[in-house]
């Protein structure tokens, strides 16, 4: 696997008074897509906490809006790994409607201990799982 894609329909709750997707919803779509991308690799994110006492936290995010999504559109969020370090990773997430790129989200995730919030290295199993989202070649 080099990427993960998932579709979401745009509902009224996702839009502003003009029927355009509210800017913060792109972050919510990206969050859901990341969760499902990790789950698709064979391990729900909740297992990281259950088995290792670790969680993913967003330490930064950059959104670039290209064109608006609207009520009833289907948005496809495609997630790929662009960098993997000992205790953090960067993901690129494209929000598309058909062939049109509507937004791009680049998000940095850190692996931290639940007990004290300090950074922690990804367990080897999780490094291997995340690596599956990296482009081949």
Question: Which residues are tagged catalytic?
Answer: 16
136 burial (CB, 10 Å; 0-12 / 13-18 / 19+) is exposed
C-alpha 31 chain-centroid distance: 5
What are the strands of the beta sheet with 54-65, ordered from one edge?
Answer: 4-9, 74-84, 88-97, 100-113, 54-65
DSSP 36-57: HHHHHTT--THHHHHHHSEEEE
Dist. CA 58–CA 131, nearest whole Å: 18
Distances (CA, A) of 41 to 18, 35, 58, 81: 38, 10, 20, 13
């Amino acid at each position: 696997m080099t990427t993960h894609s998932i579709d979401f329909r745009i509902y009224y709750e996702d839009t502003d008074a003009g029927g355009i997707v509210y800017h913060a919803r792109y972050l919510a779509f990206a969050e859901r897509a990341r969760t499902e991308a990790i789950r698709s690799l064979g391990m729900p994110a909740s297992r990281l906490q259950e088995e290792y006492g670790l969680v993913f936290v967003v330490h930064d995010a950059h959104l670039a809006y290209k064109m608006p999504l609207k009520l009833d559109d289907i948005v496809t969020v495609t997630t790929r790994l662009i960098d993997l370090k000992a205790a953090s990773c960067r993901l690129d997430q494209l929000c598309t409607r058909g062939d049109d790129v509507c937004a791009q989200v680049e998000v940095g995730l850190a692996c931290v201990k639940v007990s004290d919030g300090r950074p922690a290295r990804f367990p080897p199993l999780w490094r291997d799982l995340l690596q599956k989202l990296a482009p081949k070649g």
